[in-house]
Amino acid sequence: MVEATEMKAANHDTNSPAGEQRASERANILARVREALSVAAPADHGEAAAASSIPAVLPAVGATFEDHVALFQKNAVELRAEFKVVNDASDLVAELKRLAAEAGWRQVATHRGELTDAVCPALGLPTVTAKSGADKRELERCDAGITECDALVAQTGSVVVTSRSAGGRALSVLPPHHVVLARREALVAGLPDAFALLRVRYAANYPSMISFITGPSRTGDIERILVLGAHGPKRLTVLLLATPP
């Protein structure tokens, strides 16, 4: 019976222009949805009455900046990400230089931004800047991608980037090492705070991509054994600037 319906629908498609079909299938689906919903579902299992708020059920986060730093640190260790609080812009440069020397970076990628502009040139390395028309193969050859972020989430150890704040989509995932530069106020307690921050910042016009990055790229698809760097970065370093630049 299912087959027969599909056949009919398929025949119908070939006879009608694509646009018309799209419009009619939209109407068909919505009509079926409305028809189905005309019969009310039985009462729930009492959850509506029991439901509290999202922050109240999620893992506890602590109250102070220090609590949040400690929680982010704990999560980062568990996720095998690297996290460091640095005092000022010069410490940030020193830390980046240390990373560059240690890993032998030959070329890095970054984007235009207040923080990145302030520290990346000091590395003195060939730098690819993510911008319209940049070559993805070039980006792929970089040893590290250095980006800013919108938020760090203490609760989960996540870094929130968007296509607008972190140099598009590929920069934070294509190079083998992702280095995140975060301002003090970027550190938020929990996931609800991060979404609230995104709403305040972008509600009028959301970027095309918002990504919550938690730890380096990972897989457990072979015998549930953790391997880092499945497709994305093998290393994730988060540097939190304790004072404004």
Partner 1 sequence: MSAPAVQFHHDADRLATDLRHRELVHTALSKYEVKRDEMKARFQDWQGARALAAATKRKAISQLDRHLEQLARGLEARGTKVHWASNGRQACAIIVGIIKARNARLVVKSKAMTAEEIHLNEALEHAGFEVVETDLGEFIVQLRGEAPYHIVFPAMHLVRGEIRDTFATKLHDAPSDNPEELTMVARRVLRQKYVEADVGITGANFAVAETGMVSVTENEGNARLTAALPKTMITLLGIEKIVPRLEDLALFLPMLATVGAGQLISGYNTMYGGPRQPGEADGPEEFHVVLLDNNRTALLADAEQREALHCIRCGACLNVCPIFRNVGGHTYGTTYPGPIGGVITPHLRGLQDWKHLSYASSLCGACTEACPVKIDLHHHLLQNRRNSAAAKPSWWQKTAFKFFVPVANRRGLWKLVTRGGRLGQRLHPLIKGSRLDPAYCWTKTRELPPVAKQTFKEWWRQRK
Is the backbone of residue 232 left (phi > 0), alpha (psi -120 to 50) or beta? beta
Closer CB to partner 1, 53 or 64, in the complex: 53
Of the two residues 86 and 120, which places its CB atom closer to partner 1 in the complex? 120
H-run or E-run covering 179: strand 177-183
Phi and psi at 114, nearest 5°, equal -60, -50
Question: Of 94-102, 116-124, 181-189, 226-234, which segment contacts partner 1 by CB under 8 A?
Answer: 226-234
Which residue bears the tokens 């989430």? Answer: 153
CB of 100 to partner 1, least distance (A): 22
By beta-carbon proximity to partner 1, the closer residue of 52 and 101 is 52
3-state DSSP call for residue 25? Answer: helix
Q: Which is nearer to partner 1, 127 or 214 (CB)?
A: 214
Our measurement of the distance from residue 113's CA atom to the centroid of its chain's CA atoms, rounded to an integer in Å, reads: 18
Return the number of the residue (92 or 158) whose C-beta is nearest partner 1. 158
Cβ neighbour number for residue 221 with a 10 Å cutoff: 9
Q: Decide if 158 contacts 149 (C-beta within 8 A).
A: no
Residue numbers 38-67 binding partner 1 by CB under 8 A: 39-42, 44-48, 50-54, 56-60
Write the binding mask 78 to 97 for partner 1: x where contact by CB under 8 A, - elsewhere: --------------------
Q: Which of 73, 116, 158, 237 touches partner 1 (CB under 8 A)?
A: 158
Q: Any contact of residue 70 with partner 1 (CB under 8 A)? A: no
Q: Which of 20, 22, 90, 114 binds partner 1 (CB under 8 A)?
A: 22
User: What are the helix (H) ranges across 16-135?
Assistant: 18-37, 47-50, 54-57, 65-79, 89-103, 114-119
- The contact pattern for partner 1, residues 108-147, with x = CB under 8 A and - = no contact, is ---x------------------xxx-x-xx--x-------
Of residues 199-218, those binding partner 1 (CB under 8 A): 199, 206-218
Give the neighbor-by-neighbor strand order of the sheet with 235-241. 82-86, 235-241, 177-183, 144-148, 108-110, 127-129
> How many residues touch partner 1 (CB under 8 A)?
95
